[in-house]
Amino acid sequence: MLLLLRQQIEVINNTVDNIEMRHRRKYLLFGGVAEAANENISEVIVTVCQQDMSLPEVTSNSILVCHRIGGKAGRPRPVLVRFSDYAVKNAVWAKKTALKGTSVVLSEFLTRQRQSLFLAARRHFGVRSVWSLDGNIYIKVSSGKKERVTTSDQLQALIAQHPSEQSSGDGSAPAPAPAALPAPAPSAAGEPASSPALKPASQASMKVPVPKQTHERRAKRAPQ
């Protein structure tokens, strides 16, 4: 009964997540955009699209919502942008590689559940083998096949099929484990060389001398 209830809750959560992700299809996040007081952030994003991404078709009319999110933490806050048309959003997303060499980083506005899946997949398969498209998480496994995951169960099943593809998180192979230190060679007495066996003391050295008075008392008590 408890297992059935958990399965039903999982189905409901996935359904809600799909609906929420569908509402985010026209959104993108611009990270690393320099922040200034009294800025017109919509015009800043248009400038980035036109000049840095070579997209002259993106104008102020192409943007419905544009504002920064999150609290100030000593670095520029990301900018959440909702485009007026899904095709415009796709055109901007398709040119994200044009931002290489700049401070701006483009990413999809994923739900909390899919963001967790995205990060977990990158930790296991590596940064270069995991990406997102329209809210779906895509993973390229060692065979070259591309797998799509949207739920935790799907990701766990894929990890179980490819357990050896764990990486350091940056796309490189995991660092090899340090070699074990060799065990110390046993000594002739069977003890480790680092802790040699103690030599037993001889009987002569262990003999306690008897005082002279004790010998005299024993002589007097002896029968005549």
Q: Is residue 157 part of a domain?
A: yes
For residue 7, what pLDDT is reported? 86
Q: Lowest-confidence range among 117-121, 141-145, 217-221?
A: 217-221
Q: Percent of the chain beyond pLDDT 90?
A: 64
Domain at 84, CATH number: 3.30.70.1820
Out of 173, 188, 215, pick the residue that ends a domain: 173
Distance CA(139)–CA(156), nearest Å, equals 13
CA distance 154 to 50: 39
d(CA 92, CA 57): 10
pLDDT at site 206: 44
Q: Which of residues 83, 109, 135 is at a domain's end?
A: 109
Q: Cα dist. 199→7, 34, 202 in Å?
A: 69, 76, 9
Closest-CA residue to 54 (of 95, 14, 89, 17): 95
Domain with 47 in it: 20-109
Tally the domains of the chain.
2
Domain termination residue (choose one: 156, 173, 190): 173
d(CA 172, CA 106): 22
Q: Is the pLDDT of residue 76 over 70?
A: yes
Least confident of 71-75, 111-115, 136-140, 214-218: 214-218
Q: Which two tokens stand for residue 173?
A: 């192979």
**Structure token pair of residue 44:** 């800043």
